[in-house]
Amino acid sequence: MRLADELGRVARRLTGPGESAEDQRLVELFRNRAELKKELNELAEERHRLLDRLKLQEGATMRVEEQLAALEQYLGRPDEGYKCLTYFQLRAVWRVAARRLEQFSVELARQQKDRERKQQLAAFDRGRRERLGDVERELAEARVLADQLQAEQRLAEQRLQGLRGFWNHFRRRRLADEIAARRYRIDAAVTQLTDLGDRHHEIESEPPPLFEGLSVEGRRAVNLAAIAYAEALHERLAAAGLADLVRHTTLRRVYESSYGGREECLALMQRAGRALTELDHMQDDVDDIGARAERLRATAAYRADGDTVPLQDTLQAAAAVLLEEYWDVYKVLLR
């Protein structure tokens, strides 16, 4: 009997109309325990991630400290000071040239975007005007038809009122049938006018399309101009005997560089200083850049139809600029 009572109580808990307060508390406790366990696991994973990042940061900080210590020892030797100054001044020439290239590419991309957007809007406006013109012609024809039908209807109704006497019975019936048929045509004409008016309003209210970005041809044009600009910068600095020297600062550390003795370093720093001044005050020769870009376009080839960066070996003289990645040119090219 006692076992039956326990089974009954369990059955009532499982199938009864409601749970007791104790059962609800137990369910809530289990639910809270599961949520806390989940949060605890997430916190543990976050802790591991933070510890990993901390280890990476500590390693980076240690490497920087080692580099600074080595640099201090290096600069502490008087015979190396001039070489170090020369190295960083040449490095500054690279950074200024790279910055000019980046600014040129960004501005050119903005101009190309504005140009393509204006072309897109102009094409949209032309298409909208053409569609509005078609609808307006249909509206004019529909108005003429509706006016004509209504005029004929008024005239027919006047004639019907004038037909008296039994001898006009059949004429009245025929005329009444014509009036009824014309009324359907008038209703259809008015409906057409309403539909055309709504269509005209819809076309007028259409928003311009969204600009989804530069076209492939637009990005190719910007990239070729950027390569042409990088080529012009390379020629300018190569004429001063600095192009290869400034590039080497991106490939070698200061400890690995050598520029000769004190006099050679001073002379090189003077050349680098003049180059920095020229780069800062240089006016872009738009005609020269355009001519270079056209020359590149004549031979440029691409791996696929959607590619926007030309193959190096198709650019002739400018191929070295891409191959050696002068002025970080690949960073500014649009994909």
Instruction: Report the alpha-carbon distance of residue 303 to residue 201 in Å, rounded.
Output: 47
pLDDT beyond 80 at 52: yes
Which architecture does CATH list for 122-205?
A: Up-down Bundle (1.20)
Whether the pLDDT of residue 50 is over 90: the answer is: no
Using the predicted structure, report yes or no on whether residue 243 has a pLDDT greater than 90.
yes
Q: What is the mean pLDDT of residues 108-130?
A: 95
User: Is the pLDDT score of 175 beyond 90?
Assistant: no
Examine the pLDDT at 161 and tell me if it is beyond 70: yes
3-class SS letters over the chain:
CHHHHHHHHHHHHHHCCCCCHHHHHHHHHHHHHHHHHHHHHHHHHHHHHHHHHHHHHHHHHHHHHHHHHHHHHHHCCHHHHHHHHHHHHHHHHHHHHHHHHHHHHHHHHHHHHHHHHHHHHHHHHHHHHHHHHHHHHHHHHHHHHHHHHHHHHHHHHHHHHHCCCHHHHHHHHHHHHHHHHHHHHHHHHHHHHHHHHHHHHHHHHCCCCCCCCCCHHHHHHHHHHHHHHHHHHHHHHHHCCCHHHHHHCCCCCHHHCCCCCHHHHHHHHHHHHHHHHHHHHCCCCHHHHHHHHHHHHHHCCCCCCCCCCCCHHHCHHHHHHHHCCHHHHHHHCCC
Q: Which whole number is the average pLDDT over 224-233? A: 95
Q: Rounded distance, CA 57 to CA 55, Å?
A: 5
Q: Give me the pLDDT at residue 7, please.
A: 46
**Average pLDDT of the chain?**
85
pTM beyond 0.85: no
> Are the CB atoms for 204 and 113 separated by under 8 Å?
no
**114-123, 186-195, 252-261 — which is least confidently predicted?**
252-261
Of the spans 33-37, 49-53, 157-161, 297-301, which averages the highest pLDDT? 297-301
Looking at the predicted structure, is the pLDDT value of residue 5 above 70?
no
Tokens 């020369």 belong to: 86
pLDDT at 107: 95
The string of pLDDT tens digits covering residues 186-218 is: 898 889 989 999 999 999 999 999 999 999 999
Asked whether 334 and 109 are in contact (CB, 8 A), the reply is: yes
Which residue would you say has higher pLDDT here, 168 or 329?
Answer: 329
Whole-number Å distance between alpha carbons of 164 and 236: 105
Answer whether 137's CB lies under 8 Å from 265's CB: no
pLDDT(307) > 80: yes
**Residue range 211-229: average pLDDT?**
94
Please tell me the distance from the alpha carbon of residue 5 to that of residue 37, in angstroms, as a whole number: 36
Average pLDDT over residues 142-168: 84
Segment 278-300 shows an average pLDDT of 91
Predicted pLDDT at 79:
67
Q: What percent of the chain is predicted at pLDDT more than 70?
A: 90
Which pLDDT value is given to residue 255?
75
When pLDDT is cut at 50, 70 and 90, the band that residue 3 belongs to is very low
Whether 296 contacts 315, CB under 8 Å: yes
Exposure pattern of 236-254 as b/e (b: 16+ CB <10 Å)?
bbeeeebbebbbebbeeeb
Q: Which two tokens stand for residue 128?
A: 């909208």
Looking at residue 133, its pLDDT comes to: 92
Residue 314 reports pLDDT greater than 80: yes
Q: How confident is the model at residue 57 (pLDDT cuts 50, 70, 90)?
A: confident
The percent of residues above 90 in pLDDT, for the chain, comes to 46
Statement: residue 120 has pLDDT above 90: yes
Span 9-19, pLDDT tens digits: 545 554 555 55
Confidence of residue 1 (pLDDT cuts 50, 70, 90): very low
Please tell me the distance from the alpha carbon of residue 193 to that of residue 143, in angstroms, as a whole number. Answer: 7
Q: Report the interhelical angle of 169-205 vs 78-162 (nearest 10°).
A: 170
